[in-house]
Amino acid sequence: MKAGIVGATGYGGIELFRLLHNHPQVETITLYSSSQAGENFEEIYPQFQGGETHILQDLEPQKMKENLDVIFLATPAGVSSSLTPQLQEGRAKVIDLSGDLRLKDASVYKQWYKKEASDGETLEKAIYGLPEWNKEQIQTADIIANPGCYPTATLLGLGPLVKEGLVKSDSIIIDAKSGVSGAGKNPNPITHFAHAQENFQIYKVNQHQHIPEIEQQLFEWNDSIEPVTFSTHLVPMTRGIMATIYVQLKKEMTEEELREKYRNYYESQPFVRVRNKGSFPCTKDVYGTNYCDIGMTIDPRTKRVTVVSVIDNLMKGAATQAVQNMNLLFQYDERAGLAPLPVYP
Ligand SMILES: NC(=O)c1ccc[n+]([C@@H]2O[C@H](COP(=O)([O-])OP(=O)(O)OC[C@H]3O[C@@H](n4cnc5c(N)ncnc54)[C@H](OP(=O)(O)O)[C@@H]3O)[C@@H](O)[C@H]2O)c1
């Protein structure tokens, strides 16, 4: 198959390149850049030298949609909302890593992203690509809205509880932390090394654009769910997300019963691993992989559930999840091209 990556020079784009380079079904990869067309990708990123060279191409939507089988958009918010419609009605399927196509309600997108949403038809066609919960719809889609990194960790962590109606609907609190690569390759005053290292910072308090994405999916699972509290923190590490989730149960249950619910949902899912009693994952347990690891407990004093869900933001939170979606779109083995085990330490 022939794959294309728009935004190939960004963090998500280069991870996609690395994964597609090792993917058994991918024959050619065409890389696109809005700012460096004509330049040699392997000279910009010498870590990729030693094989074929790739010259960065200008975006030509008409040619792209006719010549490629799949196009990944690893671009900032505001790009795919107008680019995706131009890539329709050709041969290519589109997998968008940005937030542009995730929110079904255009006014909600505008409120949280401060940009105009894509057209209604494109938003309608875009399928939310969380494979563990949405496999059948993904398999027949033309456009995939790849989930955000925080929502991936959060939704996989909350799915069984919310879907089964086990939580008090107004009790969900998500305390999330991310490594610095979550902000992309261009540093800003918050992610600048001198500020971020040896520091720990909360940001976008009650304003993070992933809040409506999380609520949209929770509400789809269970329409009694009320707004959630979702806090995001920057951790001085390169990769990784940990979402620590607190909920109150509607009815008492044992920790064993709770763990069993998770196991029932995820035992057939190759990339979600549920921990045994007393074991909680850390971000290095999933470093460089498509895994989401989940641990849980119930505090016997407060009756509160704590769920800990970790992913690698650039992988399950972006590039490997996008390749998992590609595998489903093209009826390949869901695990094709996705390295099985983490780099450690
Ligand atoms: N970083 C993460 O952990 C993560 C996780 C999940 C989702 N995402 C989402 O994935 C997308 C990419 O994130 P990233 O971290 O890879 O960002 P990034 O490192 O900033 O890279 C984005 C790339 O987009 C390209 N670009 C910028 N403006 C463009 C335009 N107008 N038209 C076409 N291309 C343009 C740039 O490449 P050229 O200048 O070469 O065109 C840039 O290298 C974002 O929407 C982000 O929210 C990121």
Contacts of 47 (CB under 8 A, 6+ apart): none
Q: Inform me whether the pLDDT recorded for 299 exceeds 90.
A: yes
What is the structure's pLDDT at 340?
Answer: 77
What percentage of the chain exceeds 70 in pLDDT? 100
Q: Inform me whether the pLDDT recorded for 73 exceeds 90.
A: yes
> From the CA of 11, how far away is ligand 1's center (Å)?
7
Ligand 1 and 11: CB distance under 6 A: yes
What is the structure's pLDDT at 87?
Answer: 98
How confident is the model over 79-104, as a mean pLDDT? 98
Segments making up each domain of the chain, as ranges: 2-146+318-329, 150-311
Q: Superfamily for 150-311?
A: Dihydrodipicolinate Reductase; domain 2 (3.30.360.10)
Q: Inform me whether the pLDDT recorded for 49 exceeds 80.
A: yes
CA gap 68, 46 in Å, rounded: 26
Ligand 1 and 151: CB distance under 6 A: no
> From the CA of 177, how far away is ligand 1's center (Å)?
20
Q: Inform me whether the pLDDT recorded for 339 exceeds 80.
A: no
How confident is the model over 26-38, as a mean pLDDT? 98
pLDDT mean across residues, the chain = 97
What is the structure's pLDDT at 96?
Answer: 99
What percentage of the chain exceeds 90 in pLDDT? 99
CATH code assigned to 2-146+318-329: 3.40.50.720
Give the pLDDT confidence of 232-285 residue by residue, as tens digits. 999 999 999 999 999 999 999 999 999 999 999 999 999 999 999 999 999 999
Count of positions (residues) in the chain:
345
Contacts of 246 (CB under 8 A, 6+ apart): 171, 172, 173, 174, 175, 304, 305, 306
Ligand 1 and 317: CB distance under 6 A: yes
**pLDDT category, 197, cuts 50, 70, 90?**
very high
> From the CA of 176, how far away is ligand 1's center (Å)?
22
How confident is the model over 68-96, as a mean pLDDT? 98
Question: For residue 345, is the peptide bond before it cis, meaning its omega torsion is within 30 degrees of 0?
Answer: yes
How confident is the model over 315-335, as a mean pLDDT? 98
What is the distance between the terminal CA atoms of the chain, rounded to a whole angstrom?
35
Beta strands in 110-162 (DSSP E): 126-128, 143-145
Question: Among 11, 36, 75, which is best to mutate for testing ligand 1, by the most ligand atoms less than 8 A from CB?
Answer: 75
